[in-house]
Chains A and B, each alone.
Chain A
Amino acid sequence: MNFTERLKDNVAAIKKRLNSDDIQYKEIKIGEKKGCIVFAADLTDKSAVGELIIRPAADFCGTPNGDNIAEYFFSPETEKEYSVIPATKKIAGGSCALLCDGVNFALLFGLKKFDKRAITEPPTSTVIKGPREGFVESLSVNTSLMRRKLISPALRFKYLSAGEFSDTKIALCYIDGIADERLVNSITEKIKKAKIDAVLDDSYVSKFLGEHKASLFKQIGNTEKPDVLAARILEGRVAVLVDGSPIALTVPYLLVEDFQSPGDYYSSSYSATFARILRLLAVIISVYLPALYVSAQLFHLQFIPLSFLLTIVNSIKGIPLSPSFEMFFTLLVFEILNEASVRMPKYVGMVVSIVGGLVLGETAVNAGIISAPALMIIALSGICLYTVPELEQTFSVLRLIFLVIGGSFGAFGIIVASGVLLTYLVSFENYRTPLLAPFSPLIVKDLKDGWYKGFTVERRLSPISLKNVNKRRIKND
């Protein structure tokens, strides 16, 4: 439906669609004709409305028409909208619409203004060394942060929107000449085709960007830090920034990138390599230790050193649960505590840790419900998993799967399950990029930023694992 030259009809048409108390309709006079401004009271900058629309309207001389009105009103963001529905969407999104009798379009002013959260260090990726700023929920702030990081004309933002009701603004961010154009197009297509009522967070977008809908593994990378995002798009990835989310998504995703902490790039190569290997070992311990412990107790006593076996037998005396059930129960309690500590209000968080750590743990051991080694193993496993917080959920599920397999089939079952997992992971591709690259398929040149973190000057090429266009990172002298 299009606007007509009758102001009354145009206002009625908008009112029909935006019949909400927070939408203000203010009649004004524009020269010799009547006009009306429509805006969302809590979302639009009222002083700017007064300065840029109401005052100039009062000063208007002559008869406004379709030709002169757009030129008269001066604002950095103005556009003509002939159609009612898009105009209402934009008003709901914070724009101010100016309607004038005898003019068959609405003049829309981008005067959105609302309170934003300050730029702070993201709680999920704190660093000892390195930039501490993190993304916020405002897309414009996030894009500005990126522009500040990469002052290059090659930095591109491509705006899209998704969500039938939310009409959330989404920005693709990439570097022209490095990112593969096909990848950008593919992501654009996916977002455009997405049928969803609302996009309330980046996770909604990541669901329809992933090519394996039911996969346990992450398919889309994410970060809350502009410096990390800048580094990733410099390697040829495409970032997806979603309005309302402080997390930027990156595509394609490699499993190894979650083992790489931002701090690795700001510390020495040696300590970063050590830290990465430590993270890998911690994850392996975390996933396998409970399963191996249970399977050793049930099927393979010979794996346990005799002195430790005697300790175990000592500690499990009188415990009513079978080894597998005991470990499952302990893991369950741990996961409940974990979940509770995340959800509980901060002021009772301390209570949870005291109750969880001391009361439940120690008393359960003393009461003979669970054994001390089982508790120790779950605690160690739980702590280990947080060395790679991004994959905590994935590996928690894997830990449970391995525990069940270990308790049912023993160590050989664990070996077979690991084989299935490896086969799955090596066959897993997202946007033509293998998840396990650069290890499988082996890309030797990319190993400089795998478990081993090479010296920055050594990394002259962007990762070959990613399908980027320009591989040269640093020019030769």
Chain B
Amino acid sequence: MKFKGVKIAAVIFATVFLLFFSNDFGLIDIEKTAIITAVAIDLEQDGEYKLTAQIAVPEATDTNTENLRAQISGKGATVGAAIKNIGDTSGWFPQLCFCNLIIVGNGFSDYNLIKILDYFSKTLRIQDSALIVMAETEGAELLKLSTPLDNISSFALQKILLKNAGLNRDVAVCDVKSFCTGYYSDAGSSYMPLIKVVSQKSENEKPSAESVGGENSGGENASVAGGGSGSSGSGGESGGAKGDAIFNADTTALFLKGKKVGELDADLTLAFTALTGDFSTSTFEVKNVDLGGEKLNYLLTVFSCKASRSLSVSENGITLKVSLDAYVKISDTNERFSDLEYLKNLPLPSYVKQRAESDFTERITDLIRTEIETGCDFLDIKKELYRKHYSYYSTYKNNFIENLNYSVSVNFTGQK
């Protein structure tokens, strides 16, 4: 580099230096940023959206490492407008890049969900890998709940969803991308977990959101709740006692063209995840097996599983063959086994095998029936038809459900 070059470099560096010290560029100060961890969207009476954002408020002290949470709501005719409203009324700049959970309130049951979820799929400022769930109540209620699982309720909910996705497979997890992919596919079908709140105190005594946080300062309405022994914001919980609500996500809501058309209960959700995902490491119960008049229960763990859905198409119709082959072990039971049987790693008795197979066959059959009844192609039959039987696609694309025949085969094998 010549000295002339050095002079030019010095001038450039001086300019950059000036920028560095004066840097504002309309930057949003990190402290004025609302780190949104979850949003809940509810439909208001007037047709507008109420968007409640759960914000992580860093308030850790030396003695308490937990952070506070705050809920701020905004209203708007579109999701974007509701988010903007939060910023306008709270003074915080809503930052959605950490938002990993979107809760849709029960008010949207008859509503085309893509109208609200499209915002999250379009904008680059939010992860479209954010999970979506539908609440059995208002979406905001879920965020306001206090749970023993985590100080921040959305984190608790995510724990359930992700843990289940990783291990138990009894939740049909869905993210923005999956929902939109399903919606924009030819079948227009999608699904998401339906969240139910369960109180640990007693089944009848449901936790109330109002008991957790007040509603005051902030946007449309705002509440702050604290955890641990740390100080809490106004309207927050005192004493650091955590609530008793836990979440249940084993029911699945089904959507056709964005509208809710049905539900899969816990048994069917498990069968669905067994067929569509990796069923290994999952556990399931086989109840009330009659053995000489005694009713016995078993918990089976799946060690390996091969599930397949094959479609054969002809002029006469479509035949769906579903088969599930799994290697299972008894994890727990109230049957007394002999020491020798324990030494042999608990073989799968034929009565348990038969019962488990018939249970699962029934579940899968019900699953297919649900698809036929609701028209929601969550089993991706139309997709399969398009991809592997394209020559018949035009024939059956509008009536594949009417022409659907099916057979189910389930086979569980145990330790030999």
Contact = CB atoms under 8 A, between A and B. Distances in A.
Contacts of B97: 301-302
B240 to A, nearest CB: 18
A325 B29 CA distance: 13
A408 to B, nearest CB: 4
Interface stretch (B54-62, B137-145, B221-229): B54-62
B35 A408 contact: no
Contacts of B59: 314
B58 A311 contact: yes
A404 B60 contact: no
A314 B60 contact: yes
A186 B1 CA distance: 20
Interface stretch (A29-37, A78-86, A211-219, A247-255): A211-219
B31 A311 contact: no
Given A214-B6, A314-B60, A297 B13 contact: no
Main secondary structure of the interface of A (DSSP, over half): helix
A407 B60 CA distance: 27
B337 interface: no
Interface string A307-341: 00111111011000011110010000000000000
- Residue of A306, A316, A317, A401 most packed against chain B (CB within 10 A): A306
B342 interface: no
Contacts of B98: 301-302, 306, 309
Contacts of B23: 298, 322, 324, 407-408
A299 B27 contact: yes
Contact of B58 (A313, A322, A324, A405): A313
A452 to B, nearest CB: 31
A401 B30 contact: no
A405 B18 CA distance: 11
Contact of A317 (B6, B31, B95): B31
Nearest to A310: B58
Given A311-B58, A313-B30, A404-B17, A306 B37 contact: yes
A213 B56 contact: no
Interface in B3-38: 3, 5-6, 13, 16-17, 19-21, 23, 27, 30-31, 33, 35, 37
A144 to B, nearest CB: 40
B312 to A, nearest CB: 47
Contacts of B344: none
A17 B166 CA distance: 91
Contacts of B1: 212, 214-215, 424
Contact of B30 (A301, A302, A404): A301
A310 B67 CA distance: 8
A401 B13 CA distance: 8
Contacts of A324: 20-21, 23
B416 interface: no
Interface string A196-225: 000000000000000011110000000000
A311 B27 contact: no
Interface in B319-374: none
- Residue of A213, A298, A313 most packed against chain B (CB within 10 A): A313
Given A306-B35, A310-B60, A298 B27 contact: yes
B2 interface: yes
A316 B35 contact: no
B16 to A, nearest CB: 5
Interface string B81-112: 00000000000000101100000000000000
23 contacts: A212-B1, A214-B2, A214-B6, A301-B30, A301-B95, A302-B97, A306-B35, A306-B56, A309-B98, A310-B60, A310-B67, A311-B58, A311-B60, A313-B30, A313-B31, A313-B35, A314-B59, A324-B20, A328-B20, A328-B21, A404-B17, A405-B16, A408-B23
Given A309-B98, A404-B20, A408-B23, 9 more contacts: A317-B31, A322-B23, A323-B30, A325-B21, A401-B13, A404-B16, A404-B17, A407-B23, A408-B16
Q: Which 10 A-B pairs have the closest CB atoms?
A: A302-B97, A408-B19, A314-B58, A313-B58, A310-B58, A214-B6, A408-B20, A404-B20, A407-B20, A306-B98
Interface of B: 1-3, 5-6, 13, 16-17, 19-21, 23, 27, 30-31, 33, 35, 37, 56, 58-60, 67, 95, 97-98
